[in-house]
Amino acid sequence: MKLRHLLALLWLVACLLPIASRAAEVQATLDRARVELGETVTLNLRADGGGLVQVPDLSVLARDFAVLGTSSNSSVSIVNGNRTAQVVVGVALRPLHEGTLKIPSFSFAGGTTAPLTLEVVAPDPSAAASGHKDVFLEATVDPASGYVGQQLVYTMRLYFVANLTNGALEDPQLAGVDVRPLGGETNYQAERAGRRYNVVERRYALMPQREGHLVIPPVAFQGDMVNLADPDAFFGNATPVSASSPPVGIDIRPAPAGAARSAWLPARELTLTLDGGPAQGELRVGQPLNLVMSLQATGLPYEALPALSLPTLDGATVYPDKPVNGTRVDGQWIVGRRQQGFAIVPNRAGTLTIPETTLTWWNVVSDHAEVARIPAQSLTVLPATGPVASPPTHAAQPSPTPVTPAPSVVSITPTTPWRWIALGSFGLWLVSVIGWLWWRRRRLRAPSEHARSAAAKVTPAQLHSAFLDAARSGDAATQAAALLAWARAERPVLQNLGELSLALAADSQRESIAALQRQHYAGVDESGVGERLAKAFRDGFAWRQDEQAINASPLPPLYPFNLHR
């Protein structure tokens, strides 16, 4: 075995050992906590650690839900040599009745998930008027009123009954309001006035910067819709559609008179902590004490949080580290976090006191002020184990005894280990340089198999063979992707299956693409689609030669969101 292969194998084993040594952590979440009767919701079962997992017994949900189907997704990432793996099983559910429905614990991937609750409410009567439309938009804000700087959630839903070939959906904009997306989009189905719709839901965090009554203007959507039941729909007969959301008003109040003016922090939850302690239970003069102060707030970005600091300490020097700040999305709320490290170096023995730290914030859930508090700490500082380097107080008067062996021995003894450590580090560095030069020389003399394989190109013939294999698989998504990849090898300008159909001259090829689209996008049960595709494209593409087929789409299509799963 070559040396580089052995090193790669050892590195892979080192990455896998931490993963194999711990059990998988499991978690159950819902993509939404509140739905209307007739809508669908997705239950996600997540297992950290990867591997093969089995879908748990879902029969316990039959009393409250209709189980529509399941899907799974696995991912592996390696960051700084640390390997993490995750598998997610998604379960599509449709509630059967109103009320607070309970989802029990599941035994999943060697662990047990926590139970969940889902609130199911009656459909909005005002939405029934939109049931006759093929495409329409809804918009809501939760809560409908709040304080300056408080996060509100703006939810926008696009309803459509037919297939959208392309579309552009605007983002909400309002002067004096900070608007931020809340994660990705959510796709599900809902019923309005007896019609079943596909729904694309987007959420935004709104943080008003001024008080008063604000009105979020309508958000517009424009796109092209194709009725898959119409056989002419696959020949470019798309219908332009447009819709706009209703305007939404919100009432914004100023900060209460009793709130702290130095730092107005309207949050749903806020924590302030100080972690760290003396190493081995002792704190000595000259030895640093490392502490980490963390501030986290739900409903506020990190930019709205105050910077963290420690006061000047009597008997010690404080050295701040580089801060770590960031904002993440937790469901429908943003979570801001500031973290600051400190190195405290005592300069005298005795008692070191770190005073109390407080921060006043406004709890928007209970609507009153609260105080986050770090209690004061008193630490005992012991004398240093050896002499501490400091400027001598009698440097102007030389010692009358020029030679005294003892002081020189005492001052050298503590530094002796560092000399050996430095020599050892230099030796390791030298070995690393020699090994790198040897590896570099072998690499220049013989290119690796990986470089040679990366230089290889995929030919249209290989793509043709891959498509025929996909046609036999019976998976519509795989068939569509393989066919489009093969076609782009010959016509790179093609964007989708609709443009491919327009560019073909053979009726059999266009008809097989139409059947594939009906099965893939509309869920129509088409029998023998794979065989029809393989037969129609066995001898290659029958391209049209007219200019219209060459420039099938003068404008690039817009795909602001993923409408098909």
Final residue in a domain of this structure, among 121, 142, 165: 121
One domain, residues 482 and 534: yes
Q: Quick check: is 322 in a domain?
A: yes
Q: What is the mean pLDDT of residues 75-82?
A: 64
- Give the pLDDT band (50/70/90) at residue 548: very low
Q: Quick check: is 261 in a domain?
A: no
- Give the pLDDT band (50/70/90) at residue 228: low
Distance CA 137, CA 155 (A): 10
Give yes or no for residue 140 having a pLDDT over 90: yes
One domain, residues 242 and 271: no
Instruction: Decide if 106 contacts 56 (C-beta within 8 A).
Output: yes
Give a three-class secondary structure readout of 352-400.
EEECCEEEEEEECCCCEEEEEEECCEEEEEECCCCCCCCCCCCCCCCCC
Give yes or no for residue 62 having a pLDDT over 70: yes
One domain, residues 168 and 274: no
One domain, residues 374 and 298: yes
Q: Quick check: is 394 in a domain?
A: no
pTM over cut 0.75? no
Q: Quick check: is 258 in a domain?
A: no
Phi and psi dihedrals of 343, rounded to 5?
-110, 115
Give yes or no for residue 123 having a pLDDT over 60: yes
Final residue in a domain of this structure, among 198, 229, 253: 253
Q: What is the mean pLDDT of residues 169-183?
A: 89
One domain, residues 351 and 323: yes
Chain centroid to Cα 385, Å, comes to: 49
Q: Quick check: is 561 in a domain?
A: no
One domain, residues 475 and 518: yes
- pLDDT tens digit sequence for 13-33: 444 444 444 446 888 888 778
One domain, residues 141 and 248: yes
The CATH number of whichever domain residue 209 belongs to comes to 2.60.40
Give the range with max mean pLDDT: 219-223, 309-313, 498-502: 309-313
Q: Quick check: is 374 in a domain?
A: yes
One domain, residues 137 and 245: yes
Distance CA 219, CA 217 (A): 7
The predicted structure's pLDDT at residue 211: 92
Final residue in a domain of this structure, among 88, 121, 154: 121
One domain, residues 84 and 162: no
- Residue whose tokens read 């593409």: 541
- Give the pLDDT band (50/70/90) at residue 326: very high
Q: Quick check: is 423 in a domain?
A: no
One domain, residues 73 and 92: yes
The predicted structure's pLDDT at residue 397: 37
How would you class 280 by CB atoms within 10 Å of its CB: exposed for 0-12, middle for 13-18, buried for 19 or more? Answer: exposed
- Give the pLDDT band (50/70/90) at residue 411: very low
One domain, residues 138 and 240: yes
Range of the domain at 60: 3-121
Instruction: Decide if 529 contacts 515 (C-beta within 8 A).
Output: yes
Q: Quick check: is 12 in a domain?
A: yes
One domain, residues 209 and 129: yes
Number of domains in the chain: 4
Distance CA 120, CA 93 (A): 12
Distance CA 42, CA 72 (A): 12
- Give the pLDDT band (50/70/90) at residue 244: confident
Give a three-class secondary structure readout of 234-247.
HHCCCEEEEEECCC
Distance CA 148, CA 254 (A): 6
Give yes or no for residue 154 having a pLDDT over 90: yes
